[in-house]
Amino acid sequence: MERIPVYEPSLSGNVSAYVNECLSTGWISSRGSFIARFEEAFASFTGAPAATSVANGTVAIHLALAALNLGPGDEVIVPSFTYVASVNTILQTGANPVFVDSLEATLQVDPDAVRRAITPRTRAVMAVHLYGHPCDMDALVGICEEHGLLLVEDCAEAFGTYWKGRHVGTFGDAATFSFFGNKTITTGEGGMVLARDPEVLRRCRHLKSQGLSAEREYWHDALAYNYRMTNIQAAIGLAQIERAQELLAAKAGLAARYRELLAGLPLRTHDAVGDVTHSHWMCSIILNDAEDRSPLRAHLDRAGIDTRPFFPQVHLMPHLHTELDLPVGRRLSERGINLPSYPTLAAEQVEHICASVRQFWS
């Protein structure tokens, strides 16, 4: 059996036809019909009023924070158990991240910890929907409304994720998505920003395009960025979103198969908790004993199976280091493994992966 990667994109459907249309017409840069078509299709899928595309998921977060006028002196509450881009972008605005712990059951930010972290300088809370499971949006929306705080949703890993029947990204003042090559729908690189207030989305469009004035040619009226998506990226994205339900169904089936074949081992799968739809961007296992993780990953590597460890806590990284002890996130970070999670994974490959995991404990 060939080596099994953690992820590979599924690029069937209209990808080739749409990309070739870009090439044949010459619309390969940040102008072209596919950009608006992809934005409209994405907004429709998520239930958002509108969306604006960007070059990648990291600049999506930075753009959203900038459009919300977050800056020096502001505090943004964020889980430490997340990918570093969630936090680097806070720093890039000049604001200060305030780290909080996560919940064992869901892996998501702990709303009680968020409430305890609020100070007079708090301006925003960032909800990161980690590995495809939603945060507790009822609690977070309630906290932000009570204290007059902005709510930003980092949905980089949560396309197809729902909280009580509502797609994530539609709860906050702004929300961001990633379309990196290992995401459920991909454009190679790329991202999207949603916003509740049309004025915030207008600022996003203005800032992502070098602050270009709408009234005067080549006149730039703000310090801004070049964060635009290309027409080729959008063409790929449109073809991908046409297949979104197919891809999400395949990933749900994959997660269910892992759950079935790994039952009874000293681990748990990352399953949906409550009235939610878990999109299973990554099919994850959380081991009972952290000391098993490195030997298990080495065992799977010898069997030709690639894996990823859970993210390390961001507040321990050199440029962000604090002396905080956030024990739930620490234990999760030490015990988690992402297994191969792509929608075209064959049944025999899944059986090989699960048999190899079982063999480790046999």
Instruction: Kindly report, residue by residue over 100-137, the tens digit of the pLDDT.
Output: 999 999 999 999 999 999 999 999 999 999 999 999 99
What's the whole-number mean pLDDT along residues 205-210?
A: 97
Instruction: Supply the pLDDT for residue 159.
Output: 98
Kindly report whether the global pTM for this prediction surpasses the value 0.85: yes
Instruction: Supply the pLDDT for residue 1.
Output: 77
Annotated catalytic residue within 164, 183, 208, 251: 183
d(CA 258, CA 267): 12
- Please give the C-alpha separations between residue 312 and each of 71, 96, 236, 308, 315, in angstroms, as whole numbers: 26, 20, 32, 11, 9
d(CA 281, CA 156): 10
Looking at domain 244-361, which CATH architecture does it have?
Alpha-Beta Complex (3.90)
What's the whole-number mean pLDDT along residues 297-320?
A: 98
Instruction: Supply the pLDDT for residue 257.
Output: 98
For domain 15-242, give the fold: Aspartate Aminotransferase; domain 2 (3.40.640)
164 is catalytic: no
Domain ranges of the chain: 15-242, 244-361
71: pLDDT confidence band, cut at 50, 70 and 90? Answer: very high
Instruction: Supply the pLDDT for residue 302.
Output: 98
Instruction: Supply the pLDDT for residue 181.
Output: 97
What's the whole-number mean pLDDT along residues 14-30?
A: 96
- Number of Cβ within 10 Å of residue 130's Cβ equals 29
